[in-house]
Copies of this chain bind each other. A is one copy, B any other.
């Protein structure tokens, strides 16, 4: 969760809210519309069920995404971006594009093995 209540700059605040290994990836998957828990789980490669839940909870608490529970059997839960979340996605897009442009370069870097 968020740890500070003051930040030295906007970037600092942004990284606190969407930093970490998974949050941005989760948000990213929701660009094209709502997804169910299971769909998210399958799309975000490598994430464990538990961690996905934790990330979703935090993103929800921060107002970046919305959780809609359908009282059905079997249960259905849909996650979608809020307006706030969408604005964040837009702000992250250039970073994503940068990463895409340089992905090969980055993958070629020596690991800290």
Min CB gap A83→B, angstroms: 11
* B-contact bits for A1-39, CB 8 A (1 contact / 0 none): 111111111111111110111001100100000000000
Min CB gap A90→B, angstroms: 8
Known contacts A13-B107, A103-B10; is A87 also within 8 Å of B95 by CB? no
The 10 A-B pairs with the shortest beta carbon distances in the complex, nearest first, are: A1-B112, A10-B100, A10-B99, A14-B99, A91-B98, A11-B96, A13-B99, A91-B94, A10-B96, A13-B106
**A interface with B by C-beta (< 8 Å):** 1-17, 19-21, 24-25, 28, 45, 58, 61-63, 84, 87-88, 90-103, 105-107, 109-112
